Amino acid sequence: MPNRAPNRGATHRKTGPDRLALYQRAQEAIEFLIECNGHTTLTKDAFATTMASRYGRKWLRMDGRGNRRMVEEVMNLTRDQDIDQVAASLLGGFVVAYAPNLGGMTLIDPTGEVTLDHQLHMLSGDLQRQQATKTINRRRIAYWKAAGECAMRAGDFKLGRLLSQVENEVNATGFVSDNLVAEYMAALGARGLV
């Protein structure tokens, strides 16, 4: 069986050494942000560098610079506590987020009153990521069109129509519906590509 990427929507996640280390990084980030009264003006890179000076090199990349990806993984982990019960039990509902409007890291505290500013910053970050994803998807429209035309020329009309539907959805909304994603993945599976 080929190696496959983990199912990001799974409700049960493995708790191997990498995952346990990520839980620890998240706890460190929460502790630091609590000491900063829930907000710091540090960028993600600067946050990672500051965390490294406090908690060790595990917050750095191999080249010695702050590990932005680690910060983003911590943010995702804290945001996904509703589907990761281990994280929920270890992190207590605290969410580490980036506040693009203030230019810094912020902590959403579930035990106290969450300020409107904290909520707005987290939501604006989510919307900015959504817009970036739409832009990336729309840049791929020509690829969907070319793949559909190639499938049609090869006589695979079912796949050609499916690719054309994906192209149309991305062109209209910037996204592909869950049903169409499932159909596409099934088509790839039938070809042995997933």
* 129: in domain: no
Residue 176 placed within a domain? yes
Residue 71 and residue 50: Cα distance in Å, rounded? 11
Query: Do residues 80 and 156 share a domain?
Result: no
The answer to whether residue 106 sits within a structural domain is yes
Residue 145: predicted pLDDT: 95
According to the model, what pLDDT value does residue 3 have? 43
Check residue 81 and give its pLDDT: 83
Q: Which pairs from 22-26 meet CB under 8 Å and 24+ separation?
A: 22/73, 22/74, 22/77, 23/77, 23/86, 23/87, 23/90, 23/91, 25/51, 25/58, 25/59, 25/70, 25/73, 25/74, 26/74, 26/77, 26/78, 26/87, 26/90, 26/91, 26/96
Q: Are 38 and 118 in contact (CB under 8 A)?
A: yes
User: What confidence score (pLDDT) does residue 20 get?
Assistant: 86
- What are residue 174's phi and psi, to 5 degrees? 90, -5
2 occurs within a structural domain: no
What is the distance between the alpha carbons of residues 109 and 88, in angstroms, rounded to a whole number? Answer: 13
Residue range of the domain that includes 74 = 17-113
In a domain, 51, yes or no: yes
Q: Specify if 133 maps to a domain.
A: no
- Report yes or no on 73 lying in a domain: yes
In whole angstroms, what is the distance from residue 26 CA to residue 165 CA?
A: 40
Per-residue pLDDT at 104: 81
d(CA 191, CA 65): 42
- The single-letter code of the amino acid at 93 is G
pTM above 0.75, yes or no: no
Q: How far apart are CA 76 and CA 82, in angstroms?
A: 11
Q: CA-CA distance, 58 to 103, in Å (whole number)?
A: 24
Phi and psi torsions of 11, nearest 5°: -90, -15
Helices 44-55 + 68-79 axis angle, to 10: 90
Q: How would you write the pLDDT of the chain (194 residues) with one tens digit per residue?
A: 344 444 444 434 455 668 889 999 999 999 999 898 888 889 899 999 999 999 998 999 999 999 999 999 999 899 888 788 888 888 888 888 887 666 688 887 777 666 677 677 667 767 877 888 899 999 999 999 999 999 999 999 999 999 999 999 999 999 999 999 999 999 988 988 87
What is the pLDDT at residue 12? 41
Q: Measured between alpha carbons, how far is 161 from 78 in angstroms, rounded to an integer?
A: 40
Q: Taking a C-beta distance cutoff of 8 angstroms, is the pair 42, 105 a contact?
A: yes
Number of domains in the chain: 2
The confidence score (pLDDT) of residue 8 equals 44
| Assigned domain for 5 exists | no
